[in-house]
Structures are given as C-alpha cells and as structure tokens.
C-alpha cells in the first residue's frame, strides 16, 4: 500500500487522485439565469444527494483563482437552479457546454439544446434530459483553507421533479434506472455507462 500525504502534493495531483479514485460520479447538468437574463448551462460531477425529507441535493462548484464560476454566481443571485441527469443521448451536447464561454453567451443556444419552462422556479430547463430537478437555494458555503476559497458548496432543495413517462412506473412510483441511460464521469476525459447491475439486499440483525 502506498501512503501519500496530500499536503506534500500539488492541487493538481490531489485533483487527479480524487477524480480517479471516487468513481463513478453522476453528472449534474445545471441551468441558471444571469442578472441579464442569459440562460447558462454547465456540467458538474461533484454532485450528490443530501436528504430525502426534504429532498435536497448538493453541488460543489470549484473556483478558478478564487473567482466563482457563472453557475455559482447566478445561483446566489436568483436563489434557484435546475439540475438535469446527464445520459447517453444528451452527453455530447452537454459536454460542449463545458467550454469556457463568457457569461453573456448562453451555452444552451450554442449547443442546440431545447429550452423548457419550469413550474416552480424562474430558471428554465432542457427538454433533452429524462430527469430534471427544479431547485431553490437552501444553503451556500465557501470552503477552503489558508484564507483561500476553493469552492462554492451549494445545497439545493428540490421543489419539482420532472421524469420521462417512458421510464416511470406511476403505479409503483419506480424509475427504470437502466432506462435513464445515465452516464458517469471518471478521471480525465473518460466517462462510463451504467453497465451490468446486481441485487444485494440489506441484511437484518438478529440477536
């Protein structure tokens, strides 16, 4: 076993260790509105569930030279955003939105994604996603050390679920996970499909 102290490594080396180790990571394509009304979109793989009651999710949006990205600034300004599950059918267009566009340029328009209105927040979503979550800002944390903010940690409360009817069993309330076709981020430019699944039941303790 190789032992590595992260304090002896550069930020880039620690990034490489983490992104290659913590896999697979779901990709949250997030839409936000700027103060001038521009609809921005960007993918983030530092994304997870926080709670089911109330339903909350988290995004960790890394800063560049201590400057917040458009997505974080927009969320803080409007207190709302929409998260979409990235899948095999939309991943190429969503990957295009990761380019370094200026704030006044809408990644949605440049990549040809289809805008759809939201029901509970002012931020629109995109039609191409089989699942999207309308969210309002629950909490914002600035995380880092030595006086330098490394990321904007966003906790959002889900105010509306949108699910493609082809993957949702309305009687059982179940989503067909394979039907989503979700993709995940690995290290570097590598992605993965869901692949083979298996069942493992939670054990019970009997004294």
What is the reported pLDDT for 195? Answer: 87
Q: Which of 45, 92, 98, 93 is nearest to 70 (CA)?
A: 98
Which domain CATH number covers 132?
A: 2.30.110.10
What is the reported pLDDT for 132? Answer: 98
What is the reported pLDDT for 146? Answer: 80
User: Does residue 170 belong to any structural domain of this protein?
Assistant: yes
User: Does residue 198 belong to any structural domain of this protein?
Assistant: no
Total structural domains in the chain?
1
- Give the H or E element holding residue 116: strand 115-116
What is the reported pLDDT for 45? Answer: 97
Cα dist from 177 to 37, 86, 90, 197, whole Å: 34, 13, 16, 10
Question: How far apart, in whole angstroms, are the C-alpha atoms of residue 114 and residue 21?
Answer: 34
- Rounded to a whole number, what is the largest CA-CA distance in the chain? 63
User: Does residue 55 belong to any structural domain of this protein?
Assistant: yes
Question: How far apart, in whole angstroms, are the C-alpha atoms of residue 202 and residue 79?
Answer: 38
Domain span holding position 155: 6-193
What is the reported pLDDT for 147? Answer: 82
User: Does residue 202 belong to any structural domain of this protein?
Assistant: no
The parts of the chain modelled with pLDDT lower than 50 are none
DSSP string, 43-92: EESSEEEEEETTEEEEEEEE-BTTB--HHHHHHHHHSEEEEEE-BTTTHH
User: Does residue 183 belong to any structural domain of this protein?
Assistant: yes
CA distance from start to end of the chain: 37
Question: How far apart, in whole angstroms, are the C-alpha atoms of residue 48 and residue 85?
Answer: 11
User: Does residue 155 belong to any structural domain of this protein?
Assistant: yes
- Region of residue 128 (phi > 0: left; psi between -120 and 50: alpha; otherwise: beta): alpha
- What the block records as the tokens of 193 is 């499909």
User: Does residue 199 belong to any structural domain of this protein?
Assistant: no
User: Does residue 203 belong to any structural domain of this protein?
Assistant: no
What is the reported pLDDT for 206? Answer: 85
What is the reported pLDDT for 145? Answer: 87
Helix, coil or strand: residue 16: helix
- Give the H or E element holding residue 122: none
Cα dist from 162 to 75, 111, 168, 177, whole Å: 20, 22, 10, 15
């Amino acid at each position: 076993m190789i032992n590595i102290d992260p304090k002896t490594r550069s930020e880039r080396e620690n990034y490489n260790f983490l992104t290659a180790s913590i896999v697979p990571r779901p990709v949250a394509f997030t839409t936000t509105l700027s103060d001038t009304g521009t609809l921005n979109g960007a993918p983030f793989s530092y994304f997870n569930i926080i709670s089911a009651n109330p339903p909350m999710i988290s995004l960790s949006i890394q800063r560049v030279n201590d400057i917040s990205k458009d997505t974080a600034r927009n969320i803080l300004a409007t207190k709302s955003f929409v998260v979409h599950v990235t899948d095999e059918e939309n991943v190429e267009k969503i990957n295009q939105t990761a380019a370094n566009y200026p704030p006044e340029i809408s990644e949605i328009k440049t990549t040809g994604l289809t805008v759809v209105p939201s029901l509970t927040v002012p931020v629109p979503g995109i039609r191409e996603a089989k699942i999207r979550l309308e969210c309002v800002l629950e909490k914002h944390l600035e995380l880092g050390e030595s006086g330098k903010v490394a990321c904007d940690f966003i906790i959002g409360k889900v105010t509306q679920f949108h699910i493609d009817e082809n993957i949702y069993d309305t009687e059982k309330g179940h989503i067909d996970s394979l039907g989503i076709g979700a993709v995940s981020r690995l290290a570097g430019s590598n992605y993965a499909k869901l692949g083979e699944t298996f069942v493992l039941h939670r054990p019970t303790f009997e004294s």
